[in-house]
Amino acid sequence: MIGSNSTAALTFQDSKSASEILSALRARLHVLHGCIYDLDGKPLALYSRYPIKAGFSPPPVQGEGSSVVAGHMHLFQNVVLNGDAIGTIYIEADLGDLHAR
């Protein structure tokens, strides 16, 4: 849903709107970080659940897919508009609590 909501923000390179869209991730308790990248792989907006002194450094953009490393899931998803890829969403989520049950 973040992807489809961000099509306009990406199309018009509106980083403020893109940030607002990412802030909806706050409702997903296990999401630690988020990033919207434009077509050049440049971050348009960032999100972090907890404040980080140095700021969150997003990983270099990758193709679609997910991986799990040390209990964290890293997910990349293409944003598509009219059949064209226009950017990428990245989400990092903590799976720890889910495993502990």
Partner 1 sequence: MRVETHKTGRWCAYRFAQFWAIPLVTMLTLAAAVRIGTQTNPSLEYQVKAAFLFSFTKFIEWPSDAFHSDNAPITLCVFRHDPFGSALDEIIQGKTINNHQVLARRVNEFSDLKSCQLVFVGKEEDKGLSAVLNSLKGTSALVVGETDGFAERGGGVQFFLEVSQLRFAINVDAVQRARLTVSSKLLSLARVVHDRDHPKGR
19 is a site residue for partner 1 (CB under 8 A): no
CB of 88 to partner 1, least distance (A): 17
Least distance to partner 1 from the beta carbon of 55, Å? 20
Indicate whether 14 belongs to the interface with partner 1 (CB under 8 A).
Answer: yes
**Residue 12 binds partner 1 (CB under 8 A):** yes
Distance of CA 67 to the CA centre of its chain: 14
Buried b (16+ CB within 10 A) or exposed e, 82-96: eeeebbbbbbbbbee
State which of positions 63-82 bind partner 1 (CB under 8 A): 81-82
Please identify, using beta-carbon distances, which residue of 7 and 30 lies nearer to partner 1: 7
Query: Segment contacting partner 1 (CB under 8 A): 3-11, 41-49, 66-74, 92-100?
Result: 3-11
Checking phi first, is residue 43 left (phi over 0); if not, alpha (psi -120 to 50) or beta? beta
Q: Which residues bind partner 1 (CB under 8 A)?
A: 5, 7-9, 11-15, 17, 40, 81-82
